[in-house]
Amino acid sequence: VTDEEFTGNVKAQLAKLFGLSLKLTAPEEPDVEPLVAACTAKFGDYQCNNAMSLWAKIKGKRTQFRGPPAVGEAIKNNLPPSEMIESCSIAGPGFVNVVLSKNWMAKSIQKMLIDGIDSWAPKLSIKRAVVDFSSPNIAKEMHVGHLRSTIIGDSLARMLEFSKVEVLRRNHVGDWGTQFGMLIEFLFEKFPNYEDVNEKAIGDLQAFYKESKQRFDADPDFKERAQRAVVRLQGGEDRYRRAWAQICEISRNEFQRVYQRLGVHLEEKGESFYNPYIPGVLKALTEQGLVEESQGCQVIFIDGFNIPLIVVKSDGGYNYASTDMTAIWYRLNEERAEWIIYVTDVGQQQHFAMVFKAAQRAGWLPVVDRSYPKASHVGFGLVLGDDGKRFRTRSSEVVRLVDLLDEAKARSKKELIDRGKGQEWTEEDIEQTAEAVGYGAVKYADLKNNRLTNYTFNYDQMLNDKGNTAVYLLYAHARICSIIRKSGKDIEELKKTGTLVLDHVDERVLGLHLLQFAEVVEEACMNLLPNVLCEYLYNLSEKFSTFYQQCKVVGSEEETSRLLLCEATAVVMRKCFYLLGITPIYKI
Ligand code: ARG
């Protein structure tokens, strides 16, 4: 039996073995891809489903096979001997069911405990990706949609980074465009000494935006000045550039308060960054014959869409699409990103579909799906209030994100105080736990649903300590940590001297789930679906609790092994939290 070191992906590893077997079984069909999937527990752990389709290919030619079950039998017999596999059996029309070796499983988990969870990281075929997320607009409100983008984008970036992909975390802020003429002109009018203007003076930038918009709509004189201001700004006139930079800075500080609470890191490359590149990119596209004149605009026609992508407006100005065409060019050709991921509400789906098609026509992206480089739009649904309508505060203003996060923290803090932690813990412990739980709850409530569905924002639900919530999961993790602590054993020592075994059925079920961690991360990452990881995490805590009900840990004969299994569960849970952007807690 060959020694078979765990690579982090059971499914891929079995597929490799079955690939070898298929080559022996049907050498005349060298291109058959092994089909391996996890299966229902009563049949085994994994299943190879190649027999039927292979039978269909070879039945006329090969007389020694009398049907799919015989092909399955041959696939089974041709499997190279491996330490991974305990036994195989044939079911129905040739399914080959695999039972993994519990010794191999136990050994692989223990090895991870020693080498660290990063030894299980998925291995992807790309080296660099751009994740374009959060991306609020300067001076306009940063709303719950941007919160969703921030949370989902950060989680995707974390999964890619864990998989050793270099991620350019891009904040494509809306910091350019005609609204700035109005804002700058209003700034000059309100603060003749505008150089002294700071955040305090302007106060609320959203209110400032509203006020200037009212002025713009009401006064034709002002409107005209505002329009001239845009031209002067875009022409690079110093006074206008400085005023613009000042407005951006105030917005940036506001956004930063949200990112700081969420622990999200972003690198700003706003719309203005791409502005100088637009003429060159459009010139190249025009030379390729992609850009055409239509009703006074410059446009790109795209098959399958009844409207073209407008890249130069009739007044000669650039727009959202000109910037995005230039940004995708820059990311592919200058930054050499192999995968570009855009996280916005589903409302922008058509915009991105058109930009991607145009990039294909330009030859920047391959036309065939699935090969790299590629661009993906990660759309998400609306955030709803309890009334089923778009989430708003009572005054029907949009919600200030900082307030919303502060509220989540305040509620979880109150809960801790009500539980009497005020006597037990330091003030710092309380603050940190309240933050971890409060912000974690907001993130998890967002991530656990399929992102395309709308979700209802409800503090009581997300902060419930029962059910599929961050609170429940964080507490479950803390409980495992306390089991280990209370055992009084040195877990680092046990990792090296003890032996992990999976003899009890519930130990084995838990062990198998642990081994599937990286497989799930890879799936969540490749399909851009963080909810897949949430589901895995929730199932992990359920499997742990069954194990803990059925198997005595501290004081049992199997104590050492079971403490190691507790530790492995805690390690995997923490990595899940990390990938979801949630800070774990260690005590409750
Ligand atoms: N600023 C845009 C908005 O608030 C999102 C930008 C998304 N990224 C992009 N490259 N278009 O809707």
Please give the C-alpha separations between residue 242 and each of 8, 35, 216, 248, 480, in angstroms, as whole numbers: 52, 60, 21, 10, 55
Q: Which atom of ligand 1 is nearest to the CA of 173?
A: 1
Average pLDDT, the chain: 93
Given a cut of 80, whether residue 200 has pLDDT beyond it is: no
- The response to whether residue 323 sits with its C-beta less than 6 Å from ligand 1 reads no
For residue 396, name the pLDDT band (cuts at 50, 70, 90). Answer: very low
In eight-state DSSP terms, residue 80 is P
For residue 395, name the pLDDT band (cuts at 50, 70, 90). Answer: low
Given a cut of 60, whether residue 305 has pLDDT beyond it is: yes
- The response to whether residue 327 sits with its C-beta less than 6 Å from ligand 1 reads yes
The answer to whether 85 and 99 are in contact (CB under 8 A) is yes
Q: For the segment 14-37, what is each residue's pLDDT rounded down to a tens digit?
A: 999 999 999 999 999 999 999 999
- The response to whether residue 342 sits with its C-beta less than 6 Å from ligand 1 reads yes
Q: Which atom of ligand 1 is nearest to the CA of 146?
A: 4
For residue 59, name the pLDDT band (cuts at 50, 70, 90). Answer: confident
Given a cut of 50, whether residue 406 has pLDDT beyond it is: yes
Can you list the domains of the chain with their CATH numbers? 10-100 (3.30.1360.70), 179-247 (no CATH), 401-580 (1.10.730.10)
Could you please report the per-residue DSSP string of 384-441?
E-TTSSB---TTSSPPPHHHHHHHHHHHHHHHHHHTTHHHHS-HHHHHHHHHHHHHHH
- Tell me the average pLDDT across 69-87: 95
Neighbours of 263 (CB within 10 A): 14
Q: For the segment 223-261, what is each residue's pLDDT rounded down to a tens digit?
A: 999 999 998 998 889 999 999 998 999 889 889 999 999
- The response to whether residue 172 sits with its C-beta less than 6 Å from ligand 1 reads yes
- The response to whether residue 132 sits with its C-beta less than 6 Å from ligand 1 reads yes
